[in-house]
């Protein structure tokens, strides 16, 4: 079984400040890791994903995340946020290969609020 | 542009009534998924389909049913057996069954009258 824990349910930050959204996971097998963003009353958009290779992954809208296998973490970062980054962010994990195919396990979500 | 269309955007159900949520995609994706979203709980997988005429239960399938008669369509029925159906329902798709969900619809919000 897998699980994902997003350590902060809400993160307030001022515009142009850096931000880090924390995600830890638990799994007995190798995993793929994802970050999605959800704007109010909309579906999810894929921000970035880690499948293999470099542990630093760059995504859309200036976001990046670092996979740390020893700490089982996949924290999302942005050096300077904008008002438009206000949204809910979800970390997700799936088995790397095997029979689970595209099944994802999601974290509880972190609401990022950017203040002017 | 290709994408996923969910309808209706808002849906109300009476006690004891079945309702069907529509999900249509024009992306030519093989795999489709239904998720339920509750505040503070993230998304939970209800059903998924890797190919036409095949579907599998997810983590919370009780009280729900699906069909996949056409590649582009994956409707979800919320039956009267689902005792707490009030939630936001999201449909997603991926190119193949070995890929993770890449596209999501804008969701259907279901409420009980």
With cut-offs at 50, 70 and 90, classify the pLDDT of residue A101.
low
Mean pLDDT within A51-71:
94
With cut-offs at 50, 70 and 90, classify the pLDDT of residue A100.
low
Cβ of B43 and A90 within 8 Å?
A: yes
Q: Which of B31, B42, B44 sits opposite A109 (nearest CB)?
A: B42
pLDDT of residue A85: 96
pLDDT of residue A77: 98
pLDDT tens, residue by residue, B29-44: 999 999 999 988 889 9
The DSSP string of A22-64 is -EEEE-SS-EEEEEEEE-TTS-EEEEEEE-SS-SEEE-GGG-E
Mean pLDDT within A43-47:
91
Mean pLDDT within A35-47:
91
pLDDT of residue B10: 94
Q: Is residue A99 predicted with pLDDT exceeding 70?
A: no
In angstroms and rounded to an integer, the radius of gyration of the C-alpha atoms of chain B is: 13
**Chain B partners within 8 Å of A44 (Cβ):** 43, 90, 92, 101, 104
Residue B55: burial class (beta carbons within 10 Å; 0-12, 13-18, 19+): buried
pLDDT tens, residue by residue, B12-31: 988 889 999 999 999 999 99
Per-residue pLDDT of chain B (113 residues; tens, 9 = 90+): 679 999 999 999 888 899 999 999 999 999 999 999 998 888 999 999 999 999 999 999 999 999 999 999 999 999 988 889 999 999 999 988 777 787 899 999 999 88
Q: Please, what sign has the CA dihedral across residues A110, B112, B89, A39? A: negative
Q: Please, what sign has the CA dihedral across residues A55, A69, A106, B75? A: positive
With cut-offs at 50, 70 and 90, classify the pLDDT of residue A98.
low
Taking the CA of residue A68 and the nearest CA in chain B, the distance in Å comes to 21
Cβ of A108 and B40 within 8 Å?
A: yes
Cβ of A44 and B90 within 8 Å?
A: yes
pLDDT of residue B57: 94
Cβ of B31 and A102 within 8 Å?
A: yes
pLDDT of residue B53: 95
**Chain A partners within 8 Å of B104 (Cβ):** 43-45
Q: Which two tokens stand for residue A15?
A: 């515009």
pLDDT of residue A40: 86
Cβ of A41 and B106 within 8 Å?
A: yes
């Amino acid at each position: 079984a897998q699980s994902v824990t997003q350590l902060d349910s809400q993160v307030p930050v001022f515009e142009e400040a850096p931000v880090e959204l924390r995600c830890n996971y638990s799994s007995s097998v190798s995993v793929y890791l994802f970050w999605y963003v959800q704007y109010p009353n909309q579906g999810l958009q894929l921000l970035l994903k880690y499948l293999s290779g470099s542990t630093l992954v760059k995504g859309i809208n200036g976001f990046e995340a670092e996979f740390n296998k020893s700490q089982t973490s996949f924290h999302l970062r942005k050096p300077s946020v904008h008002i438009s980054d206000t949204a809910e962010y979800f970390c997700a994990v799936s088995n790397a290969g095997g029979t689970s195919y595209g099944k994802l396990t999601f974290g509880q979500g972190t609401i990022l609020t950017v203040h002017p | 542009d290709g994408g996923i269309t969910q309808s209706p955007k808002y849906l109300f159900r009476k006690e004891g009534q079945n309702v069907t949520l529509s999900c249509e995609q024009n992306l030519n994706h093989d795999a489709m998924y239904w998720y339920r979203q509750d505040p503070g709980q993230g998304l939970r997988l209800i059903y998924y389909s890797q190919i036409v005429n095949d579907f599998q239960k997810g983590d919370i399938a009780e009280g729900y049913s699906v069909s996949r008669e056409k590649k582009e369509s994956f409707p979800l029925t919320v039956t009267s057996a689902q005792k707490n159906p009030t939630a936001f329902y999201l449909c997603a798709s991926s190119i193949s069954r070995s890929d993770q969900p890449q596209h999501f619809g804008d969701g259907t919000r279901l409420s009980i009258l």
